[in-house]
Amino acid sequence: MTDHRGADPDEAAPPPAIRRTAELWLTGLGAGLALVFLGGFALVVNRLDEASFEEVVRPVLLGGADQLSPAEAFEAGRTLSAWFALTLLLVLALAAVAVMLTRSRPWRKAPGWWLFAAGVVCLLGSQLIAYPIAFFFFLGAGLFAARPVRDGSSS
């Protein structure tokens, strides 16, 4: 039996040949930057003792905010580093799913949604601090939406 175009529906059309090199590079760049900055902050702050934190990190992190006691400031810094570490894990997981889907089915737009989610998690999880990193994920998601599939399909 044939469909309205005269083609046999049992013979599946081969997937379109498309490469998503730019999207993969942007995802890798965003994941690498997130690893360096979010992971680096979490690693450094979690390894500091309270005296080192007070001397090195507190002046940079809190500036002239003297209303917090040293113990409260140390706890706030540790909480922020834990939040960044969780954000990093979520961003890397979402980016890994996007890369896996991009490599297996590059003609689909679903990896773009995973990249968009990685960008949102990076942006909100870093409390808007890591917006330059989230930009790479948003740019990759935008390329998934904007770049056409060569066979004319809209999927």
**Structural domain includes residue 12:** no
Whether 111 contacts 101, CB under 8 Å: yes
**Structural domain includes residue 117:** yes
**Structural domain includes residue 101:** yes
**Structural domain includes residue 110:** yes
Residue 78 has a pLDDT of 92
**Structural domain includes residue 76:** no
31-67 confidence digits (pLDDT tens) = 999 999 999 999 999 999 998 988 888 888 777 667 8
CA 99 to chain centre: 11
- Print the domain residue range for 128: 27-46+81-145
Residue 133: pLDDT band with limits 50, 70, 90: very high
77-93 confidence digits (pLDDT tens) = 899 999 999 999 999 99
Does position 151 have pLDDT exceeding 90, yes or no? no
Residue 18: pLDDT band with limits 50, 70, 90: confident
CB neighbour class for 130 (10 Å; exposed up to 12, middle 13-18, buried from 19): buried
CA separation, residue 152 to residues 48, 70, 143, 148 (Å): 56, 62, 16, 7
The predicted model scores a pTM of 0.80
**Structural domain includes residue 138:** yes
92-125 confidence digits (pLDDT tens) = 999 999 999 999 888 888 999 999 999 999 999 9
Residue 141: pLDDT band with limits 50, 70, 90: very high
Question: Which residue type is seen at 95?
Answer: A
**Structural domain includes residue 13:** no
Provide the domain count of the chain.
Answer: 1
Instruction: Read off the tokens for 102.
Output: 């991009």
**Structural domain includes residue 127:** yes
Half-sphere exposure of 75 (CA within 13 A, CB side): 5
